[in-house]
Structure 1
Amino acid sequence: MPIKSRLRIFLTSLALAGLGAQVALAPAPAAAHLAKWGSWEITHRNLMKLFPDADPNAWRIKRYQYSDKEVAVLERELGFALYPEDKTPEFYVAHDSEGRFLGVAIFIDPRTKPKVLDGSVLTLEVGVGVDARGKIDRVRVYDYRGDLRLTKREFLSQLEGRGLDSEFHMGEGGLVPVSGEPEESQLVANAGREALLLMKVALGKG
């Protein structure tokens, strides 16, 4: 399928995910903000974990500036105020070696209140890849020093195939939290929903 057709399917899928249906399905508000790394080398390495079939040299960056109206919609849906940098997100567009559109990735830091482990701040940085249908393709958790089960495919694969109309509450809709880590598990699920929402508002206008 031509790249423009695949991209059009992605945008249409996002556009059809109406915001009105999200309110009833939304998890309890939990603060989250966009994650950033200091170098393209690290960013690129983490992107390839989301779309391993992507052409390493063909990533495109889509920057977006949310309007005041869009910010208000996002803050209402997410349940927290956006940081200034959250209002100008970067989306990473993946293509394979033949130029076919694979999907879009974004990085989320689903925690704003610091959590300390062994005397240092425990970070939770989540990458979300969304496929051409507007569904979650992969989720990865990077450099996490807490319970490593949170980073394993057995847990993360539960979010694959979910869209904005899906359930994201841990303990419901087939989602099983890591035992002993209900809060961290929910934060990862929240990151998946936030990624879809940010893309829908920024890109789902087709």
Structure 2
Amino acid sequence: MRHLSTMMRLAAGALLGGTLLLAEPAPAEAHLANFGSWEITRGYLQEIFPDATDFLRRRDSYTDAEVAQIEAELGFELYPEDRNPEFYIAVDESSGKRKFLGVALFIDPRVESRLLEGNVVRIEVGIGVDARGRVKRVRLFDYRGARALTRAEFLDQLVGLSLNDSFEVGPGEAIKPVEEEPIESQLVANAAREALYLMKVSLGQGG
């Protein structure tokens, strides 16, 4: 299987040729359905790729064999909806030409069930990956736990990481957790790694 950075460039080439993606994204079904509308989804995508003028969608579908491969690599079972992920390709057309900026994906990691102020705590992680196959930006949406988990001091530790890097979180690791929420800190890091790996599997198909 090709390296992720190579596949990202291939995806960009296919995008510029107009053969890979849908020009008008429909509302996503898996994770993004929770956002309620394309307008909300697009706003979240704009936080991940603020320079993008448009976002194009690519939907994939994994076979049972691919699901087994992904689960073995990640170390946990996929949600049923993760078998059909939605990838959002960020482009900049402000110059009159379509420029590939990267790919965004939303991951909804498993959080221990608990209530906070009458609401179920959940994490919706948006991950942007650049053309080199490295984490470009991570943002959290609809999170009601410790605000420190949503801030740059924690999230920016993931920027620049690739599948060749460790995503372990801990006091003795390169990625330091939010003190109040060490488990959730690891879940966010896991989501970034999952996004990278799902892109590797999906963008590597047919090559």
TM-score normalised by L of structure 2: 0.80
Match of 2:128 in 1: 129
Aligned residue among 27, 44, 47 for 1:46: 44
> Partners of 1:8 and 1:60 in 2: how far apart?
20
- Give the letter aligned to residue 102 of structure 2: G
Deviation at 1:38, TM superposition (A): 2.2
Work out whether residues 11 and 134 of structure 1, in 8 Å CA contact, stay in contact via their aligned partners in 2: no
1:112-168 CA distances to partner (integer Å, 9 max, x unpaired)?
542322332111110000000000000001121111011111110000000011110
Aligned to 2:185: 185
**Aligned partners of 1:134, 1:163: CA distance in 2, in Å?**
6
- Matched with 1:61 is 57
Are the equivalent residues in 2 in contact too, given 1:126–1:139 (CA < 8 A)?
yes
**How far does the alpha carbon of each residue in 1:20-61 deviate from its partner, in whole angstroms, 9 at most, with x for none?**
xxxxxxxxxxxxxx6322210111000000000001xx2110
User: Contact between 1:11 and 1:204, CA under 8 Å: does it hold in 2?
Assistant: no
Question: Any conservation in 1 of the 2:7–2:204 contact (CA below 8 Å)?
Answer: no
Secondary structure of residue in 1 paired with 2:133:
coil
Are 2:198 and 1:198 aligned? yes
1:117 maps to a residue whose letter is: L
Q: Does 1:94 align with 2:90?
A: yes
Residue deviations 1:73-109 (CA, integer Å, cap 9, x gap): 0111222222321111110001112311000000001
Show structure 2 runs of 5+ residues with no match. 12-29
Aligned residue in 1 for 2:20 = none
Contact 1:12 1:204 in 2 (8 A): no
Question: Match of 1:126, SS?
Answer: strand
Counterpart code for 2:49: F
Gaps of 5+ in 1: 1-6, 14-33
| CA RMSD of superposed structures (Å) | 2.0
Question: Match for residue 161 of structure 2?
Answer: 162
1:175 and 2:184 are equivalent in the alignment: no
Identity of aligned residues (%): 54
SS in 2 for 1:59: strand
Letter in structure 1 aligned against 2:151 = K
The residue that corresponds to 2:14 in the other structure is none
Report the secondary structure of 1:104's partner residue.
strand
The equivalent residue for 1:108 is: 107
- CA apart distance, 1:9: 5.8
